[in-house]
């Protein structure tokens, strides 16, 4: 992988987009490398992922404008699909993905963060969908996910006006969960990931599936999705372990992902 690194710390995997000369902008190679990084995640062992950008200035400054500048309509659509496919893969990845946003999250950068389950950012982070200033729409899910996360009114204000917002405003409108000084961002992301990783993995995965799939349908269908995923946890080792630990007033629990 030329532009993406993947490392593990215990049960937590860390994917870093590493193209700092271009502020980690997403060209086709970065997108392919992201796919390869996800392929490398051992789902038997890894229980949560962190996605971040290399350097202290930028998470991801968007899709690569140089690469996009001469695309035909058909090539533009195909590039959008390439980004959308990988972002959808992140969104539906079996384990939770935390975006640790360490600077610019513009265009495709804001979009990739929105395909993650949880967004944490540093005080120097900046979010936005500046695409209309470049003569295009957001193309890696921005028109869809921003409206779903912050509501259509705010999403339309940001997208139509190509208005970038700072960390504090992103926090206020619910685009990020927490804001940290830059040096505290990765420790906080790792702490959150480790906190997720210590819980029963099948249950955590089923929660992700239930929330994501339930959000797409009406409540009558959504609660059926929940019922099935709830039922699916029973008879697992980890359900028996979690409940017997409670009943035996035992603090130590060993979840085996089975
Ligand atoms: N694509 C390609 N290269 C990029 C880039 C991008 N999105 N963003 C930054 N870079 C490159 C710059 O061209 C520059 O390269 P050179 O040193 O070779 O000239 C390098 O990164 C550093 O950038 P700047 O000198 O511009 O740094 P700055 O601190 O002055 O400004 C910035 C930082 C405000 C983020 C500015 O770089 C910027 O506005 N970048 C573009 C942001 C943007 O418009 N993103 C949306 C892209 S479109 C998109 O993402 C479509 C989609 O939905 C799929």
Each residue of 73-83: pLDDT tens digit?
999 999 999 99
Q: Which residues contact 111 (CB under 8 A, 6 or more apart)?
A: 83, 87, 129, 138, 140, 141, 142, 145
Catalytic residue among 56, 131, 184, 252: 131
Residue with the smallest CA separation from ligand 1 atom 41 is: 61
Report the candidate in 85, 76, 166, 100 with the shortest Cα–Cα distance to residue 127: 166
CA 81 to ligand 1 centroid distance, Å: 21
Q: State the pLDDT at residue 154.
A: 98
CA 25 to ligand 1 centroid distance, Å: 7
pLDDT tens for the chain, 258 residues: list them. Answer: 899 999 999 999 999 999 999 999 999 999 999 999 999 999 999 999 999 999 999 999 999 999 999 999 999 999 999 999 999 999 999 999 999 999 999 999 999 999 999 999 999 999 999 999 999 999 999 999 999 999 999 999 999 999 999 999 999 999 999 999 999 999 999 999 999 999 999 999 999 999 999 999 999 999 999 999 999 999 999 999 999 999 999 999 999 999
CA 104 to ligand 1 centroid distance, Å: 9
Measure the CA–CA gap between 126 and 39, rounded to whole angstroms.
29
- Residue written as tokens 């229980």? 47
Pocket test for ligand 1, best of 22, 66, 77, 83 (most atoms within 8 A of CB): 22
Ligand 1 atom closest to the Cα of residue 57 is: 29
Catalytic residue among 45, 111, 123, 241: 111
Q: State the pLDDT at residue 3.
A: 98
Pocket test for ligand 1, best of 3, 21, 25 (most atoms within 8 A of CB): 25
Token code pair at residue 108: 């495709």
Three-state DSSP class for residue 194? helix
Q: State the pLDDT at residue 197.
A: 98
Residue with the smallest CA separation from ligand 1 atom 39 is: 61
Question: Would you say the CB of residue 25 lies under 6 angstroms from ligand 1?
Answer: yes
User: Is-catalytic flag, 111?
Assistant: yes
CA 98 to ligand 1 centroid distance, Å: 23
Question: Would you say the CB of residue 106 lies under 6 angstroms from ligand 1?
Answer: yes
Contact status, residue 214 vs residue 207, Cβ threshold 8 Å: no
User: Is-catalytic flag, 131?
Assistant: yes
- Helices and strands, number each (H, E), in the chain: 11, 10
Three-state DSSP class for residue 168? helix
């Amino acid at each position: 992988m030329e532009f993406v690194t993947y490392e593990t710390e215990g049960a937590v995997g860390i994917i870093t987009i590493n193209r700092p000369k271009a502020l980690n902008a997403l060209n086709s190679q970065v997108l392919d490398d992201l796919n390869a990084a996800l392929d490398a995640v051992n789902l038997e062992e890894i229980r949560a992922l962190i996605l971040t950008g290399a350097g202290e200035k930028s998470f991801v400054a968007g899709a690569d404008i140089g690469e996009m500048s001469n695309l035909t309509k058909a090539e533009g659509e195909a590039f959008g699909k390439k980004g959308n496919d990988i972002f959808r893969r992140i969104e539906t990845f079996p384990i939770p993905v935390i975006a640790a946003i360490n600077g610019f999250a513009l265009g495709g950068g804001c979009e990739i963060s929105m395909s993650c389950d949880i967004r944490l950012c540093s005080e120097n982070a900046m979010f936005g969908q500046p695409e209309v200033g470049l003569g295009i729409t957001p193309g890696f899910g921005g028109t869809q996910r921003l409206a779903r996360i912050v509501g259509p009114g705010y999403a339309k204000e940001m997208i139509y006006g190509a208005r970038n917002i700072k960390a504090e405003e992103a926090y206020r409108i619910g685009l990020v969960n927490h804001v940290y000084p830059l040096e505290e961002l990765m420790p906080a992301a790792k702490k959150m990931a480790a906190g997720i990783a210590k819980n029963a993995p099948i249950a955590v995965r089923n929660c992700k599936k239930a929330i994501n799939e339930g959000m797409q349908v009406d409540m009558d269908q959504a609660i059926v999705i929940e019922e099935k995923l709830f039922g699916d946890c029973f008879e697992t080792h980890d359900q028996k372990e979690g409940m017997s630990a409670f009943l035996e007033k035992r603090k130590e629990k060993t979840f085996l992902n089975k």
